[in-house]
Structure 1
Amino acid sequence: MSIRKRTWKTAKGEVKEAWVFDYVDQAGKRHIKTFDKKKDATTYQTTVMGEVRDGTHTASSQSVKVKEAADKWLGTGEKNGLERSTLDQYRQHITLHINPYLGDHRLSELTAPLVREFEDRLRKGTPAPGQKEAKSRSAALVRKVLVSLGSLLGDAQERGLVARNVVRDLRSKRTRGKERRSERRQKGKLKIGVDIPTREEIKAIVGAVAGRWRPLLLTAIFTGLRASELRGLLWSDVDFDARQIHVRQRADRYNEIGAPKSEAGERVVPLPPLVLNTLREWKLSCPRRKEKKDDEGKLHLVFPTGTGNVESLGNIINRGLVPPQLAGKVSVPVVAADGTPRLDEEGKPILAAKYTGMHALRHFYASWCINRKADGGLELPPKVVQERLGHSSIVMTMDVYGHLFPRGDDGSELAEAERSLLA
C-alpha cells in the first residue's frame, strides 16, 4: 500500500495535482483511488489497512450507491412474498428518510460515525442536502429506520456489494435494553381509565352497543383479538362445540388476507358464554359472500361488510366503537388548540369518544386476564396471558402489562403475613 503525489497538465496548460492511494485488497486485486488532499488519502489508507486485515474491505469500484442497494432490497422483499403493508413501510423509510440523507453515498463509504450522524439528523430534524426544512423524527421511528437500513445492508452483503454491515456492527455495541427502557419511559405505563377502559366503561359500552357491531365488539372485549384478526376471522375457525376460536389469519390495511403477525399469533382463545351465544345468533343473519358457495362457512368471514367482504378498520371504529361510547357516556370533551372546551350551537360542550382505537379493548382483555378473581379478573399466570394475546415472547407481555400483575405485597396480604409470622 502506498500514497504518491501525481501532477499533470490539462489541455489548457493548467497544472493539476492529486494524491493517489495504490493498494491490493484481501483477494489480491489491485485498486487505485485518488484524493485532492493528502490527509484524506492517509485517512482512507488507515481504514483500508484495517479492513483488508480483517477481510472486510470492499473497493469503491465494486460498491453501489445506497439508493441502488435499496431497490435491490425491496426486490428481494417482493420475491420473498412480504406483505404489501410491510413493503410500503420499507418504501417510506427509504423514500422519506434514508435516500435523502444517504442515497448518493456508496455502500463502501458508510461508516459508524456517518450512521451516527444520520441518526442524529433524523432525531433533530436537520434538513437533508437539497431540503430547506425537515421535522424531527421520534425515537421509535428512528429505530425502525435504522433497522431497515441494517436489513438493506444485510441484503447487499449477501450480494457481495459490501463486506461489512456497519449498522449491525454499531447496534451490537449498544445496550438495546437501554434503548427499549428509554422508549418505554417516553411512552409511560398503560393506565387504567386512560389507555385501558375501566370495568364500568366496558359495562357501559356492552350495554349500549347493538346491531351488527355487538358481536364484533363483544368478541374483541372478551377474546383480545387484534383488529386485523377480527377482520380476517372465518366461521370455520369458530368452534362452537369446543367453545373456542382458532386464530389462523388476519386482514391487513389493504383488506388482504394473510398469516398472523408472528408464529405465536396463531393460537386458540376460549369463548365465554356471552360471546358464544351472541355469535350463534349472529351467524344466522351474518352476510355471506355472494360469489362463493357456502361450503359450511369455510369461505365466509365472521365480521364482514354487507356484501360479505373484509370490513375496513375505519368503519369498525367510526360506526362500531365510537357510537356506543357516546351513548354510554364513555366520552371526553373536545378542546380547542388553546385548551378551552369546544361548544356546540346550544353552548353545550362537544363530546368525543374516549377510546379511539380497537387496541384499547385488547388492553382491557389483557387486564381482565391479569386481575385477581376477587376483582372480577381471571388471575391467569403470565405465560398463559402471553399465549392468549399471541405475543411472540413473555418479555413483550411483561414489558407492556407487567405492572398490572398482582404484586403480592399489598396492605392486606402484608398484614396477614405478619400475623402468621408472629403468631
Structure 2
Amino acid sequence: MATVRKRLLPSGKQVWQADYRDGAGKRRSKQFTLKKEADAFLLSARGEVAKGVHVAESASITVEVAAKAWIKRAESQGLERSTIASYQQHVDLHIVPRIGATKLSKMTVPNVHDFADELGQDLSRAMVKKVLGSLSGIFTEALRTGKAAQNPVAAVKIKTSKRDAARAEMPTKAELRAILNATPEKHKPFIWTAAFTGLRASELRGLPWSDVDLDGKILHVRQRADPYNVIGKPKSEAGTRDVPLAPSVVATLKTWKEKCPKGDLDLVFPNGVGNVESHANLLNRVFWPIQVAAGVSIKTDKVEKDGQPVMDAKYSLHALRHAAAALWIEQNATPKRIQMLMGHSSIQMTYDTYGYLFDAREDDQAAITAIEERLLAS
C-alpha cells in the first residue's frame, strides 16, 4: 500500500517518506523535506507504476551508461559509420562531460533547459539542437528498455531565427561559366555532371554506370558512397530519384565511358584503379585547383616565392549542387519539382534552403497589372 509518513532520522532530522511498491512488487521509498513534495511524488510514481513505466531512483542508470547503450543499439541497427561517429562525438564532447554522472531519473525539463543554455555559451543553436537530438535518442532507447520513465528532452525546443540562417553559398553564373571553361578535359565529366545535375558529392562518388541512361538522358540515383568510401543507400528515401541529363553532359559522359578506369564497382567517377574516390581528393586535386585557375578564388595571408599572394578556392563541392538548383529555379521549376530533383526529404527543407530564390517579382508585377486592368475595365 502506498503511504506518506513522517520519520525522524537518527540525526534528528525530520523527513516525509513516500512508501510504495514498484511494478515488480518490490518495496520502494523516497524521502522529502515537505509533505506536499512526498504527496506529489507518490501520485506521480503510482501513475507511472500503473502504466508500467516507473523506474525507481535507486534503480536508475546514469546518462553516461544510457549513452553507451544507445550507441550500441545504433551500431546493431546498421546505421552508417559517419552517423554513429557523429553521435559518439556529441556524447564524448558535450553530453558526458556535463551531465554524464546524472541519473536519468534526475533529469527534468528544467535540467535539460539548463544543459541547453550551457551548451549555447559555446555552440551555435544548430549544434545545440543536434546535441539535444542525441540526448533525446538516449532517453528514447532508455524508455524502450525500461530504464527511464519519461523523455524530458521532448518538451525542450530550440528555436533558430531564419534571419540568422546563412543563404546557400554558390558561385554566380559568371563564376560558374569560368569554372566550367577552366575545367581540364579529364575532369570535365565530373564537374559538368555535378554542375548540371545537383547531385551530392557522395552520390557522385557512388554513381555506377548501370544507373546512367545515356540514351534516355536520365541519371538514376540509387546509392551513395559514405565518408569511409563504403557504398550504401541514399541519404533518405527521397534521395532515390531520377535526374535529367543536359545534352552536353550526355556527350561528355559517352566519351568518358570509354576512358573511365574499370573496377568491380563499375563507378562513373572512380579513382585511378576503379575504386571509390575520396571526397578530399576531389577537392584538393580537382575542384579547388580548377577554381583557382578560373580566378574564382580569394587571397590568403601566405605568399608565393615570387611575392604573389597564395590564392584559395572560394567554394566547396556542395556549392555546385546549390548552383544547379538555382538554375532550375530560374527556369521556373516549382518548389515541389526542386524538392524531387534535389532529393530533399521535405518541402520545408527546400524552402529553407532555396526559398529566397523563388522570387517572382516580375510575375507578381504582371499579375497585379492584370488585376488592375480587369477591375478598372468592368
Is this a same-fold pair by TM over 0.5?
Answer: yes
Structure 1, unaligned runs of 5 or more? 9-14, 125-135, 293-298, 337-341, 372-377
Q: CA deviation at 1:88?
A: 0.7
Among 316, 333, 340, which residue is 2:299 paired with? 333
- After superposition, the Cα gap between the structure-2 partners of 1:44 and 1:277, relative to the gap in structure 1 and judged at 3 Å, is farther
**For each residue in 1:151-190, what CA deviation from the matched residue of structure 2 results, as whole angstroms up to 9, or x when unmatched?**
111111011111111111x13xx5x7xx24x1x3222333
Mapped contact 2:198–2:325 kept (Cα < 8 A): yes
Equivalence for 2:167: 189
Mapped contact 1:22–1:30 kept (Cα < 8 A): no
Take 1:110 and 1:400, find their aligned partners in 2: how far apart are those partners?
A: 35
Write the letter of the residue equivalent to 1:352: D
Take 1:370 and 1:99, find their aligned partners in 2: how far apart are those partners?
A: 45
Take 2:261 and 2:12, find their aligned partners in 1: how far apart are those partners?
A: 79
Equivalence for 2:152: 166
Mapped contact 1:20–1:32 kept (Cα < 8 A): no
Take 1:78 and 1:43, find their aligned partners in 2: how far apart are those partners?
A: 41
Take 1:284 and 1:240, find their aligned partners in 2: how far apart are those partners?
A: 13
Write the letter of the residue equivalent to 2:129: R
Structure 2, unaligned runs of 5 or more? none
Write the letter of the residue equivalent to 2:120: R
Equivalence for 2:104: 107
Equivalence for 2:77: 80
**Residue 146 in structure 1 maps to residue 132 in structure 2:** yes
**Residue 22 in structure 1 maps to residue 18 in structure 2:** yes
Equivalence for 1:324: 290
Equivalence for 2:43: 49
Q: Secondary structure of the equivalent of 2:92?
A: helix
**Residue 306 in structure 1 maps to residue 302 in structure 2:** no
Q: CA deviation at 1:94?
A: 0.9
Q: Secondary structure of the equivalent of 1:350?
A: strand
- Coordinate RMSD, CA, aligned: 2.4
Among 42, 46, 68, which residue is 2:65 paired with? 68
Mapped contact 1:287–1:306 kept (Cα < 8 A): yes
Write the letter of the residue equivalent to 2:281: N
Q: CA deviation at 1:410?
A: 6.1
Q: CA deviation at 1:17?
A: 5.2
Equivalence for 1:120: 117
Q: CA deviation at 1:71?
A: 1.3
Q: Percent identity?
A: 42
Equivalence for 1:130: none
Q: CA deviation at 1:247?
A: 0.4
TM (norm. structure 2) is 0.90
Write the letter of the residue equivalent to 1:324: I
Equivalence for 2:4: 2
Give matches, 1:8-407, under 5 Å. 8=10, 19=15, 21-25=17-21, 27=23, 29-34=26-31, 38-39=33-34, 43=37, 46-53=40-47, 55=51, 57-124=54-121, 136-168=122-154, 170-171=155-156, 174=157, 179-180=159-160, 182=161, 184-190=162-168, 195-289=169-263, 292=264, 299-334=265-300, 336=301, 343-355=303-315, 357-371=316-330, 378-407=331-360
How many matched pairs? Answer: 370
Q: Secondary structure of the equivalent of 1:151?
A: helix
- After superposition, the Cα gap between the structure-2 partners of 1:165 and 1:325, relative to the gap in structure 1 and judged at 3 Å, is same
Q: CA deviation at 1:211?
A: 3.8
